Chains A and B, each alone.
Chain A
Amino acid sequence: MAEFKKADSMLEWFDQRLGVINFAKVMMSEYWIPKNINFLWAMGVLLTVLFTFLVVSGIFLLMYYKPDANMAFDSVNYTIMQEVAYGWLFRHIHAVGASVVFLIIYIHMFTGIYYGSYKKGREMIWISGMLLFMLFSAEGFSGYMLPWGQMSYWAAYVITEIFGGIPFIGDELVVWIRGNFYVADATLTRFFMLHVLLIPLAIIGAIVFHFYALRFPHVNNEQGEFFDFDKESEKYLAGDKKHSKVIPFWPVFLSKDIFVLGVFLIFFFYLVFFHYGFAMDPINFDKANGLKTPAHIYPEWYFLWSYEVLRGWFFEIAGISGKDLGLMAFGFANIIFLVLPWLDRSPMVKPANQRPYFKYWFWLMIADLMVLTEFGKLPPTGPNAWVGFGASLVFLVLFIALPFITKAEAKKVKGK
């Protein structure tokens, strides 16, 4: 063991044992971020804070929640909402936080697409981010089941039913997932386990991985400019802070993020206290009843676009049933974002609006996702069904066409 001299301060004592000074440098004061950024670069910190809110409120809810088909509904709506001091506050933060976390994830994700932050060395950042999106989706879905209301039950029924469409093993798979022939107590308890243990563990791992993936390619900037981070950071440390293209994570980058967070929290708490209906569907305040199907079944808003891709295919084409076509389209929609770095064949790393062809693709994609989201909620009858089909088709075409569009763009800008 190395020789230890007596420490003169508490900091030194810890530094001798844990190397905290160096650690703080690497993680905070000498972790370099580009200066040329806007508030969209704060979404990562917002998401970290929201995830913390969800974990903390979740821990409090866990103390009173009862994962049992006979007790779950009342443990949430009576015990937590009415008996436990501020139980309602934790539930509102948890429910609204779960919904808003997806809003911020989408903003974060589309910011990445808009600025081309998924290519030229940043592929692993993108992939780990999409992995987080999938894990959050699973977390949201499993959590939505826990209050055991009508929408919990029927959303669980419809979504688990989707797996029945997988060839050969579908029917057995559905039973395996549900732990019963229908959605029942066994389904609730296993999704409870997933929601409070397995998926959160995976999420924490994926967050660490996502942060780690940022270290080597570095954070992108508003103009997609590539520069030498070592040179710029030396400039900064030498005192030329004004001309350096980088800023340290602490305190410069975080000071901006914390301000953005402050503004966001006003909005967030407005939703938590006064406008939470979008995140706590009224139908879910009816206790689950497997014999009574609600008039309208729809998933939470953040799943609506992919739900509509699934639902848009309602008629047979070339001998393949609408249901199977929908499933294929749904499968496509859920993995296609993951491979985006390889679909974009243009080497340009620029904001979308500075890219001659990609800008049309980007805004069309956003518009299509909005149409899908809207019609995913409306009843799929009459013209709605056709709009849904059209939007679903446009979604597929957009992603199939992306390599060709970006290839043409690469040619036009001559590989710049």
Chain B
Amino acid sequence: MKEFKILAVIIALVGITYYGIEPYAHSVMHPAVAPADFTFQDVKNVDTSLVGNEANGKVLVEANCIACHAIEKAGHPAVMPNADSAASYGVVPPDLSHAGRIYDKNYLANFIFDPVTAMHLQSKYNPENGKAFPMPSYNWMSPQDIMDVVAYLQSIAPKVADDKAGHKITFEAACGRCHNMQYAGIEATTPVDNLKTYMGATPPDLSQYIKSRGEHYLHSFINDPQILLKGTSMPRVGLTEKAQEEVIAYMEEVGDSKKAERESLGIWVMLYSAVFALLAYLWKRKIWEEVH
């Protein structure tokens, strides 16, 4: 009985200390932020309830987009090599093959209308500092036309499997123009010198971000970087919740590849220890019977 009391005191003291230096201290250092908003309600320049016309969208895309953007899936290869397009635009413009799938509809429509506002990069691109985002605003386009473009992009975007290979496609489409992922052999499509000029600093390698930032942080951060890192030049990219989950899943598959092995082995080792403790207890009882 007395031993249990001693144990209770130790558990209480260790527990209080643990609570203070781990969950509590971290909640002070990293205060909770607004929950991620995957509807992107703050941008409402385009009436997204309009039903898009894919055929008209195709015409509009071919007239307005493919001068700069590749759309491999629709038979429009890149206009020039990555190094040249990075030199021309500052960054390699994205291939739009997956845009209709990975970007939220509301976000995508509003991005076309006014990219800087949608990305929350007003502090980086504004009339005062004279910097302009490489893609012009299509605010002259009618909402119906914009929705036609969105509908077309959605119609051509290929589905991907819910496995590591599929997650990789989403990751590369969403992050791969700027970020390296060394542990997966992924190198940003934009050359590093261009990136440094374009972003102000070299974007980090994401190999270990699942560990250094954690899923919880990434969930908010990718959804809207400005909330957690005010003034960052990383844009809000407008991923749908599903696409973002695929990106984070890929980061975990690369950065914490032994997770499944760890968790299944852990149960067995703990069970082994429990059996060990039980046998040790029986042995101890037998031995101490003689001396008590």
A residues bordering B, Cβ < 8 Å?
35, 38-40, 74, 77-78, 81-82, 88-89, 92, 103, 107, 241-242, 244, 247, 251-252, 255-256, 258-259, 261-263, 265-266, 268-270, 272-274, 277-278, 282-287, 295-296, 301, 304, 366, 370, 373-374, 377-379
Residues of B within 8 A of A278 (CB): 18, 21-22
CB-based contact B211/A285 at 8 Å? yes
Complex Cα–Cα for A115 and B254 (A): 51
CB-based contact A285/B212 at 8 Å? yes
Q: Does B34 sit at the interface, judged by CB under 8 A?
A: no
Residues of A within 8 A of B211 (CB): 77, 282, 285
B256 smallest CB distance to A (angstroms):
8
CB-based contact B21/A374 at 8 Å? yes
Q: Does B160 sit at the interface, judged by CB under 8 A?
A: no
Q: Does B159 sit at the interface, judged by CB under 8 A?
A: no
Complex Cα–Cα for A285 and B2 (A): 43
CB-based contact A38/B6 at 8 Å? yes
Instruction: Report B13-50 residues with CB < 8 Å from chain A CB.
Output: 13-14, 16-18, 20-22, 24-25, 28-29
Residues of A within 8 A of B267 (CB): 273
Q: Given A38-B6, A82-B257, check contact A269 B212 (CB 8 Å).
A: no
Neighbour of A266 across the interface among B22, B182, B261, B274, CB < 8 A: B274
Most buried by B among A38, A268, A277, A282: A282
CB-based contact B266/A274 at 8 Å? yes
Residues of A within 8 A of B204 (CB): 286
CB-based contact B7/A78 at 8 Å? no
Residues of B within 8 A of A366 (CB): 13
B160 smallest CB distance to A (angstroms):
24
Complex Cα–Cα for A378 and B19 (A): 12
CB-based contact A273/B29 at 8 Å? no
Q: Given A82-B183, A265-B276, A301-B21, check contact A273 B269 (CB 8 Å).
A: yes
* A-B contacts, CB under 8 A, total: 132
Complex Cα–Cα for A408 and B2 (A): 30
Closest chain A residue to B2 by CB distance? A38
Closest chain B residue to A253 by CB distance? B287
CB-based contact B25/A262 at 8 Å? no
Complex Cα–Cα for A116 and B273 (A): 33
Stretch at the interface among B55-63, B114-122, B234-242, B277-285: B277-285
CB-based contact B270/A269 at 8 Å? yes
Residues of B within 8 A of A268 (CB): 273
Complex Cα–Cα for A92 and B292 (A): 40
Residues of A within 8 A of B7 (CB): 39
Q: Given A266-B274, A378-B28, check contact A370 B288 (CB 8 Å).
A: no
Q: Does B10 sit at the interface, judged by CB under 8 A?
A: yes
* Chain B interface size range: 35 or more
Q: Does B161 sit at the interface, judged by CB under 8 A?
A: no
Q: Given A103-B14, A263-B277, A285-B208, check contact A270 B270 (CB 8 Å).
A: yes
A155 smallest CB distance to B (angstroms):
15
Most buried by A among B13, B20, B204: B20
Neighbour of A265 across the interface among B17, B28, B277, B283, CB < 8 A: B277
A409 smallest CB distance to B (angstroms):
23
CB-based contact A296/B29 at 8 Å? yes
Residues of A within 8 A of B270 (CB): 266, 269-270, 273
Q: Given A82-B258, A265-B276, check contact A272 B266 (CB 8 Å).
A: yes
Complex Cα–Cα for A228 and B24 (A): 51
CB-based contact B287/A255 at 8 Å? yes
Q: Does B230 sit at the interface, judged by CB under 8 A?
A: no
Complex Cα–Cα for A287 and B3 (A): 45
CB-based contact B273/A262 at 8 Å? yes
Residues of B within 8 A of A287 (CB): 205
A410 smallest CB distance to B (angstroms):
27
CB-based contact A259/B6 at 8 Å? no
Closest chain B residue to A366 by CB distance? B13
Q: Does B73 sit at the interface, judged by CB under 8 A?
A: no
Could you give 6 example pairs across A and B, Cβ below 8 Å? A258-B280, A273-B262, A273-B265, A284-B212, A373-B17, A378-B29
Instruction: Report B186-210 residues with CB < 8 Å from chain A CB.
Output: 204-205, 207-208
Complex Cα–Cα for A27 and B288 (A): 20
Residues of B within 8 A of A103 (CB): 14
A170 smallest CB distance to B (angstroms):
30
Residues of B within 8 A of A265 (CB): 273, 276-277
Residues of A within 8 A of B10 (CB): 107
